[in-house]
Amino acid sequence: MTVNVAVPLMLQQTYCYAVPEGKENQAVTGIRVLVPFGKRVMTGYILGKTEEQPNELKEIREFLDLEPLFTETDLEFYQWIANYYLYPLSMVIKTALPSGLTITGRQKKIISEDGSVVTEEFFNKSTKSKTEPFYRITSTPPPPSLKGKAKNILDFIKENEESDRTTIYTLFGQSLIQLKRLLDLELITVENREIYRDPFKDKPYQPDSPKKLNQEQQAAYNKIITATDSGEFSPFLLHGVTGSGKTEIYLQVIAYAIERHKTALVLVPEIALTPQLVGRFRSRFSCGIAVLHSGLSDGERYDEWRRIRRKEAKIVIGARSAIFAPVDSLGVIVIDEEHESSYKQTDGLRYNARDMALVLGKQRKATVILGSATPLVTTVYAARNEKLTELNLTKRVEDRPMPLTRLLDQRGKKLEILTPELLKALEQNLEAKKQSILFLNRRGFATWLTCSDCGHVLQCPNCSVTLTFHQQQNRHICHYCEYSIPAPSVCPECSGTAITLLGMGTERVEAKIKELFPEAGVSRMDRDTTIEKDSHFRIIKELEERKTDILIGTQMIAKGHDFPGVTLVGVISADTTLNLPDFRSSERAFQLVSQVLGRAGRGEEPGEVFVQTFNPEHFALIAASEHDYEKFYLQELEERRDAGYPPFSNLAAILFSSTSAKAAEEGAETAGKLLRKLKTDLKLKVTILGSAKAPLGKIRGRFRQQILLKSTQRKPLHQLLLNFKNNMKLPANVRVSIDIDPVDML
């Protein structure tokens, strides 16, 4: 018997191997095997039986799994992805399976009694999971001598039967001596246990029941349910303004599917930023929920993965990689905030989980709901061309009004963090004991340092960007490669003292607000303040508990959160996104401003929003401030049509990078010539732009060039790229990657 095996290397082909006599039963799709590969032994995945009989057939050395890691149905999905993204099937499989699974080498092999190799042991689970001492009460009554802290700790453990060390330390401070004493007296026992660091666990969830849907919600729900009943692939765009009750619809549709023994996959842009959404699922459902988040160790991720495979978890919530979760009987896929660019992976297999959700839905005949208040122009266009069904929620629940929004023109005025209008609104809101949010899509204190004597600007030596000053660390940091230097007191170039910090980030806004309102509770949420686990929760909780009056933050605060107490939102600058050299910059700005202003007035009180900008006449900002998606859509569509961008074309980018600027340039140029020749020879209707230096010409010491391909049809684009891949030979110091449907054009 011969099987096809995919070996995870950047090679297109798969390989044939002979199955040892008597092992035929084990040689099924989805089993990992050890195979001789050249001089090495590698792990490979069995794809299936083959009739091929090559001359020199090597034998499989070892079977690594008792149960398949993927099914033939999964394989169909992987194969589709491999073809679409022009990526080796083996590497697609590797990306799809939970990390930590692929172990090459033999040292971890454990043979069980019946002679087979066991997966569990093969996968070294203990490597990354953490343990913690747990103290348990014993039955001996306490001797009378015990008092003070030791007694308090004992009482606490007694009350709870057991406690982990972190909790004890949190309550009683460092208590090593006391715990040792209690152990010596045999009043407690200790045991090291593996702990499950799930930031979503142990949070109290109030059970909650389905809400009575309003008319618009009900209409949308009915349409989705009817489609679900049909058992056919049914894609929907659920387009509803912020706070219109989209999540409530997801919950009820999923409940409907679960009742019918189906499962659900819920994708969210970034799981750490959506504790509230996870909480709502936990409150609503008693069936198993698997939450795949980045805080999981490899072992925990694998555990969750097996829970899903064993159908113990019927709902899977996760970020983009959850699209590969091994769900069976898939009924519903939800892509929340479908417009988010984080659904796109930006290295390795550059897949887009939003797009793949539609592919998966089609393969599994599932209902797919793309939800957003600000859907992609391409999505709405597809809906209006009958590729998906558009469902609209035009009103907020309970008829809460959309916030009154004003654009504040900063042109020709003295540059200040807060315009007088926004400042006044903040003061009044504080006085009224209401909460405010200030948004700026840039972290740090100042964007760059410049010397007014010699004109020197502090740049990252590895990347073509300026270094951002972070006051708390007192360092200038590169946001691309983390390179940093201590803040200089004189100009590093001319030793002059006329150095100035220009541009602003959230840290500077926070400093200013604290200076203006020393009495107010001020908090900041950005990447710098959320490094620690649980810090998101803390910041959100403090806002919910009204300890925070003013929250300052980056786009982290723009997403999904529901803060009923917030009545004022100020956008410090709407221009950071608008000015990016990317054809999607208007769309991004519209989304960001719409999402941020959606945070205002979600409670009983109406909200108010101020947007500071140098571009008050920009259609995207005007449309966002008027909550007019249609206005934005129609104009954006025209601009895309004129420039030939999606939805009027399909895009692919080819990226070249090298530590040598010359090699990158020459490589890209050679590639450009080849592409043009192939295009002519094959008579393909593809527009080839470049090569040109990427907007970010250098990142992490690598110089970057790119070629952009456009075509109204997908086929010629693919044909050109396939031929290019097969014929392109570049020097070893130039890296090439192909990005199908690129999202980040920088």
The binding site for ligand ADP (CB under 6 A) comprises 211-214, 217, 240, 242-248, 397, 562
Min dist CB 511 to Zn ion, Å, is 25
Tokens for 289, please give them.
């929920």
CA distance 731 to 566: 56
Min dist CB 280 to ligand ADP, Å, is 7
CA distance 502 to 451: 10
Pick 146 or 481: Cβ nearer Zn ion: 481
* Residue 397's binding partner out of Zn ion, ligand ADP, none, with CB under 5 to 8 Å set by partner kind: ligand ADP
Pick 129 or 462: Cβ nearer Zn ion: 462
The stretch among 101-109, 287-295, 472-480, 623-631 that binds Zn ion (CB under 5 A) is 472-480
Pick 405 or 586: Cβ nearer ligand ADP: 405
Min dist CB 576 to ligand ADP, Å, is 24
Q: How far is CA 576 from CA 53, 524, 560, 586, in A?
A: 60, 19, 21, 11
Pick 268 or 291: Cβ nearer ligand ADP: 268
Q: Which positions from 482 through 501 interact with Zn ion, judged by CB under 5 A?
A: 483
* Residue 480's binding partner out of Zn ion, ligand ADP, none, with CB under 5 to 8 Å set by partner kind: Zn ion
Tell me the CA end-to-end span of the chain in Å, nearest whole number. 50
Contact 263, 327 (CB under 8 A): yes
Pick 238 or 740: Cβ nearer ligand ADP: 238
User: Any contact of residue 471 with Zn ion (CB under 5 A)?
Assistant: no
For residue 553, what are the β-bridge partners?
Answer: 439, 525
User: Any contact of residue 462 with Zn ion (CB under 5 A)?
Assistant: yes
Residue type (1 letter), 547: K
Pick 74 or 336: Cβ nearer ligand ADP: 336
Residue-level length of the chain:
746
Q: How far is CA 700 from CA 29, 461, 543, in A?
A: 40, 9, 37
Min dist CB 307 to ligand ADP, Å, is 27
The stretch among 423-431, 432-440, 477-485, 591-599 that binds Zn ion (CB under 5 A) is 477-485
* Residue 342's binding partner out of Zn ion, ligand ADP, none, with CB under 5 to 8 Å set by partner kind: none
CA distance 633 to 621: 12
User: Any contact of residue 467 with Zn ion (CB under 5 A)?
Assistant: no
* Residue 483's binding partner out of ligand ADP, Zn ion, none, with CB under 5 to 8 Å set by partner kind: Zn ion
Pick 211 or 387: Cβ nearer ligand ADP: 211
Q: How far is CA 69 from CA 305, 326, 408, in A?
A: 10, 9, 56
* Residue 32's binding partner out of ligand ADP, Zn ion, none, with CB under 5 to 8 Å set by partner kind: none
Q: How far is CA 678 from CA 83, 340, 662, 739, in A?
A: 20, 35, 24, 19
Contact 515, 522 (CB under 8 A): no
Pick 225 or 745: Cβ nearer ligand ADP: 225
CA distance 669 to 264: 47
Best CA proximity match to 600, nearest among 243, 145, 248: 243
Tokens for 445, please give them.
């204190």
Min dist CB 485 to Zn ion, Å, is 11
Task: Please list, in sequence order, all residues whose beta carbon lies within 8 angstroms of the beta carbon of residue 62, skipping any fewer than 6 positions away.
Answer: 33, 34, 106, 109, 117
Q: Which residue has the tokens 């519903």?
A: 332
Contact 272, 245 (CB under 8 A): no
The stretch among 152-160, 416-424, 454-462, 468-476 that binds Zn ion (CB under 5 A) is 454-462
Contact 250, 371 (CB under 8 A): yes
Min dist CB 690 to Zn ion, Å, is 24
Min dist CB 383 to ligand ADP, Å, is 18
* Residue 214's binding partner out of Zn ion, ligand ADP, none, with CB under 5 to 8 Å set by partner kind: ligand ADP
Pick 466 or 586: Cβ nearer Zn ion: 466
Helices (H), 117-233: 119-122, 148-160, 165-172, 176-184, 215-230
* Binding residue count for Zn ion, defined by CB under 5 A: 7
Pick 247 or 567: Cβ nearer ligand ADP: 247
Min dist CB 465 to Zn ion, Å, is 6
User: Any contact of residue 614 with Zn ion (CB under 5 A)?
Assistant: no
* Residue 429's binding partner out of ligand ADP, Zn ion, none, with CB under 5 to 8 Å set by partner kind: none
* Residue 462's binding partner out of Zn ion, ligand ADP, none, with CB under 5 to 8 Å set by partner kind: Zn ion
**How many CB atoms sit inside 10 A of residue 199's CB?**
19
What is the edge-to-edge ordering of all strands in the sheet holding 188-195?
162-164, 130-137, 188-195
* Residue 383's binding partner out of Zn ion, ligand ADP, none, with CB under 5 to 8 Å set by partner kind: none
Rg (CA), the chain: 29
Pick 240 or 570: Cβ nearer ligand ADP: 240
User: Any contact of residue 463 with Zn ion (CB under 5 A)?
Assistant: yes
Residue type (1 letter), 322: A
Min dist CB 503 to Zn ion, Å, is 17
Task: Supply the angle between the helices 629-643 and 377-384 in degrees, to the nearest 10.
Answer: 90
Q: What's the 3-state SS for 230-289?
A: HCCCEEEEEEECCCCCHHHHHHHHHHHHHHCCCEEEEECCCHHHCHHHHHHHHHHCCCEE
**How many CB atoms sit inside 10 A of residue 272's CB?**
20
User: Any contact of residue 233 with Zn ion (CB under 5 A)?
Assistant: no
The dihedral over CA atoms of 620, 624, 630, 632, expressed in degrees to the nearest 10, equals: 0
User: Any contact of residue 481 with Zn ion (CB under 5 A)?
Assistant: yes
Contact 509, 576 (CB under 8 A): no
Pick 487 or 678: Cβ nearer Zn ion: 487
Min dist CB 262 to ligand ADP, Å, is 22
* Residue 562's binding partner out of Zn ion, ligand ADP, none, with CB under 5 to 8 Å set by partner kind: ligand ADP
The stretch among 196-204, 324-332, 453-461, 542-550 that binds Zn ion (CB under 5 A) is 453-461
Query: How would you classify residue 32: left for phi > 0, otherwise alpha for psi between -120 and 50, otherwise beta?
Result: beta
Q: Which of 117, 253, 277, 478 touches Zn ion (CB under 5 A)? A: 478
* Residue 244's binding partner out of ligand ADP, Zn ion, none, with CB under 5 to 8 Å set by partner kind: ligand ADP
* Cα dihedral across residues 74, 76, 78, 81: positive or negative: negative
Min dist CB 464 to Zn ion, Å, is 9
Compute the C-alpha angle 239/265/652, nearest 5°. Answer: 70
Pick 453 or 562: Cβ nearer ligand ADP: 562
Pick 75 or 557: Cβ nearer ligand ADP: 557
Min dist CB 276 to ligand ADP, Å, is 8
Min dist CB 443 to Zn ion, Å, is 15
Min dist CB 560 to ligand ADP, Å, is 7
Best CA proximity match to 536, nearest among 552, 520, 557, 564: 557
Pick 218 or 428: Cβ nearer ligand ADP: 218
Binding residues for Zn ion, rule: CB under 5 A, are 460, 462-463, 478, 480-481, 483
